[in-house]
Structures are given as C-alpha cells and as structure tokens.
Amino acid sequence: MNLLAPHSELLATLQRRLGPHGFTTDPFDMEPWLTDWRGRVRGEAAALLSPANREEVADIVRLAGAARVAIVPQGGNTSMVAGATPVAGSLLLSLRRMRAIRSISPDDNIATVEAGVILSDLHDAAAAIGRRFPLSLGAKGSATIGGLVSTNAGGTQVLRFGTMRALLAGIEAVLPDGSLFEGLSALRKDNRGYDLRQLLAGAEGTLGVITAASLKLVPAVGSRAVAWVGLESPDAALRLLRLLETRLGDRVEGFELVPREGLGLVLLHVEGARNPLAADHAWHALVEVTAPEGEPEPAERLGEILAWAMQETLIQDAVIAANEGQAQAFWALRDNLSEAERRDGISVKHDIAVPVAAMPAFIAEASPMITAAFPAARLLPFGHLGDGNIHFNIRNPAGSDAAAWFAQNNVAVSRLVHDLVTKAGGSLSAEHGIGQLKLAEFARLAGPVRLGALRAIKHALDPMGIMNPGKLVPLAPGEAAP
C-alpha cells in the first residue's frame, strides 16, 4: 500500500490550520456526508475538512501529499455513482464553505464563482443581472459548481447549450502536489497546448481540487412555453423533436422523455403532482421553447406545431402550460423523477448514451431482451432523448422483494445493458461519471487504449495516487491499490 492513514500529528496540524469551522472528526457532523445520495455505499473518513479559501485547500493537499494520505473532494454529495463517498483512511475535503461569487458581469457574460456555490444560487445571481447560467438539473438545490464541473454534468438544457464543458471558461484548482493552477481568465481563444481546464472537468476529483470556475452566461429568457405531450413511442418523440427544431431552430431548449411508469412514480410519491393530460399515454415528452426579450411569446407558435403534429397522428395529446406556475409544475414532474424512484425502492440505474438517431431503436430492441433475461423486470427508460442519453433504469418485478432481487440480479442486469450499449457504439456513462459504482464495468468495457491513456494522465499529475483513489481510473492488471 502506497497510501497511509493520517497520523495524529497530521490531524493536529490540520485542526490548528483550519480552526473549529474547518475541521471535525465528530461522527455526528460527518454522518450525512459518508453515504452517497442513492444510499448504495457507505464510506469512512478520518476527518471532515472544510477549508474557507484556496490557500487552505493548497495547505491541505500539500500536507496530505507529504503524509501520503488520500483526499476525497466533495461538493453537494449528489453523485449518482458514489464519486464523493470517502474511502477508509481518507480526508474528506468539503468545498461547501467556499461559496463566494467573486465576480459576475453582464458585459463579458461571465461569472467567476468558488467551487462550493450551489447551482440554484448561481441561477439567482445571474437572474439578478438579467442573465442566466443555462445548466439545470434535479439536484440544483444541492449540487455545487465544483461537483458539476468535476462530473462534466449534463442536465436538461444540453440540447442547446451543451454540457458543463461547453460552459466552462476558466478554472482555478489545486493540483495534487499542492500547487495552485490559476486559469480563471476567461479567454475566448487560448492555444497554449493541452487544455488543463478541460482535463480537470470530468476528472471526478482525481487530478486535483477545483477551487473556482469562470462560467459562461447567456441572456435571460424573454418568455417561454412549456408543453407536456402524450405519444406512443420514443420514435414518435424523436420525430417530434426534429419537427420542432425544423420550425423553431435552437429555441427548443428542453426535450425530455418520460415513460408512463415514470409519471406514475412521480404521481405516487410527490405531493401535489398532477397528470397534465386526461388520458393515459405510454410515453410523454416535456418540451420547452424560449424566446428572447422583445420577441413574441412562443406559446402560440408551439401550439400550432403541436396541433399539426396531432392531426398527423405524430402525437396523441398535448397541453401547453397556461402560466409560469403550471410550467414549473410540468418541470417538477420531470425533475422529481429520480427522487420518486428513490422513494419507491432500490433500482438498477444506468446512464447510457448512443447516437441520438439510434436511441429509439435501442430502447425498442433492448427492452424485450432485458425482460426475456429478467422476467417481469420493470423498465424505466427516461431522460434526455435529444442528447441520445437515457437513464435506462430497471426494477424488480411488481410485488417481489426489491432488495433480494437487486442483490441477486444487479450485476448481471448492468452487464447486459452495458453490453448492448457497447455493441451499439455507445457509452455506459453519459453524464454521471464513473465514480466507484461503474468502475468495474468501465474496466471491463473501456478497451486498453482509453484505459492506458487515462492511467498515464493520472500518473503524470498524481504519481502518489492521493486524489480520490478508487474512483474513475481502474487499476491496471496486477497493479496494487495506491
């Protein structure tokens, strides 16, 4: 073993350096941060460190490196793959106290914010200056900028604005040797070789600790129209999306797929949730179209297109939100799906991507293959159809013991789904990352060239392997854990 548990002298030094607000070993204070959001993995940490600024982060990393102690960076702990769950003997490094908005300007459309800023707080800050930060997801009330950058998060506006990488203009990070990389100046052009900013994005805390980021803002929305549509298949949904894009261009900002079972879970578990349509539909699409300030509201045009689509039997029914409250209620049906699924019980979750045009056929072909192999398993494919990214989740047969079914089938179910995805040229992680829950499958399916390059980069920047060990980067055959 290369890595060591922190000795008492190191802990005492950290305690002195960080003070009472920045250091604790109290089990009560640490408890909420030791288990992942899904409740799948419980970790352990020698201490919870909450630095107040980048200098404290740099000192922690330098001291931990000198003592060969592992560091696990953590933001809101909303990872879907237990990426921020600490490993035994590690220092859990929370960025949650670092939540300053250092600058935000409508002139250059950039916000420079510390890693612990919560996504919804950034949304509010941007709105206050007539701008917006166009990345949103169900965990926006807890997920932090550091975590969102480190997972290259996607969410529900990728269709128009891309994932976090596309919105990242600059980064500040403490590298594994304790040095500070200052790359916040949001240059539109910068060709000084390898892009460290993009290397740290999606690195899941394995290459350093992000302390701040410069993020691109876009003009605030003038008005929006949000529709809830009933249709018979993912294929019809994709055809509807292409129709909307043809007629409305990039004003189509959101297009999410929700199956009957998904809506059912939200109606069952989320207080106040109501089905916007009268009849039952096998599939639904949530559509958001926006217009800039000064332009006509998009509801009328969207209504015309949906009416035409209904006449052509492309869709079965649709309703456009009559006001902002209803628009939010439609979005809540989508955003609460993960929470409703969690309340319902354990499920085998997947986060797959295939080329966009191939996704409807993938769902149609994979579904019967899965139920043939796992009879009566309940399928819940939902999400970002327009990005070719579906959460192809699978639950136990109705009425059976969920935990027992999960324990028995979890690994085999995921292998089947991931094999099918790999055969279709896809990815087993579209937006959640690898963390620890997907590590074995990633090692099995990634191929030696990808894995070799990943390991070489990791080793070059973090030769001792102190940054978030056991996540993202699989060990090489025969390699000992750090």
Minimum CB separation of residue 8 from ligand FAD in Å reads 25
Residue 137 binding ligand FAD, by CB under 6 A: yes
Minimum CB separation of residue 200 from Zn ion in Å reads 22
Among 22, 83, 383, 474, the residue binding ligand MLT under the rule CB under 6 A is: 383
Residue 76 binding ligand FAD, by CB under 6 A: yes
* Residue 337's binding partner out of Zn ion, ligand FAD, ligand MLT, none, with CB under 5 to 8 Å set by partner kind: ligand MLT
Q: Are 90 and 71 in contact (CB under 8 A)?
A: yes
Window of 5-13, 229-237, 313-321, 376-384 that interacts with Zn ion by CB under 5 A: 376-384
Q: Give the C-alpha separation, 205 to 212, whole Å.
A: 13
Residue 154 binding ligand FAD, by CB under 6 A: yes
3-state secondary structure of 406: helix
Q: Are 200 and 141 in contact (CB under 8 A)?
A: no
Q: Give the C-alpha separation, 274 to 257, whole Å.
A: 17
Q: Give the C-alpha separation, 243 to 229, whole Å.
A: 14
* Residue 287's binding partner out of ligand MLT, Zn ion, ligand FAD, none, with CB under 5 to 8 Å set by partner kind: none
CB-count exposure of residue 419 (10 Å: 0-12, 13-18, 19+): middle
Provide CB contacts within 8 A for 322, sequence distance 6+. Answer: none
Residue 337 binding ligand MLT, by CB under 6 A: yes
Residues 151-190, mask of contacts with ligand MLT (x by CB under 6 A)? ----------------------------------------
Distances (CA, A) of 22 to 5, 49, 50, 234: 20, 5, 4, 49
Query: 116 to 155, contacts with ligand MLT by CB under 6 A?
Result: 138
Q: Are 178 and 143 in contact (CB under 8 A)?
A: no
Minimum CB separation of residue 351 from Zn ion in Å reads 7
**Pick from 105, 389, 140, 152: which is nearest to 257 by CA?**
389
Q: Are 150 and 203 in contact (CB under 8 A)?
A: yes
Q: Give the C-alpha separation, 100 to 414, whole Å.
A: 40
Q: How many residues bind Zn ion (CB under 5 A)?
A: 1
Residue 95 binding ligand MLT, by CB under 6 A: no
User: Max CA-CA distance within the chain?
Assistant: 74
Query: 428 to 457, contacts with ligand FAD by CB under 6 A?
Result: 431-432, 435
Window of 187-195, 383-391, 441-449, 451-459 that interacts with Zn ion by CB under 5 A: 383-391
Among 3, 30, 61, 80, the residue binding ligand MLT under the rule CB under 6 A is: 80
Residue 155 binding ligand FAD, by CB under 6 A: yes
Among 468, 469, 470, 474, the residue binding ligand FAD under the rule CB under 6 A is: 468
Minimum CB separation of residue 342 from ligand MLT in Å reads 8
Residue 338 binding ligand MLT, by CB under 6 A: yes
Minimum CB separation of residue 391 from ligand MLT in Å reads 4
Q: Nearest residue by C-beta to ligand FAD?
A: 147
The alpha carbon dihedral of 336, 142, 48, 83 has a sign of positive
Helix (H) or strand (E) holding 23, with range, is strand 23-24
* Range list of H helices, 374-447: 402-423, 439-445
Minimum CB separation of residue 154 from ligand MLT in Å reads 7
The alpha carbon dihedral of 352, 167, 342, 364 has a sign of negative
Task: List residues binding ligand MLT (CB under 6 A).
Answer: 80, 138, 337-338, 349, 351, 383, 391
Task: List residues binding Zn ion (CB under 5 A).
Answer: 383
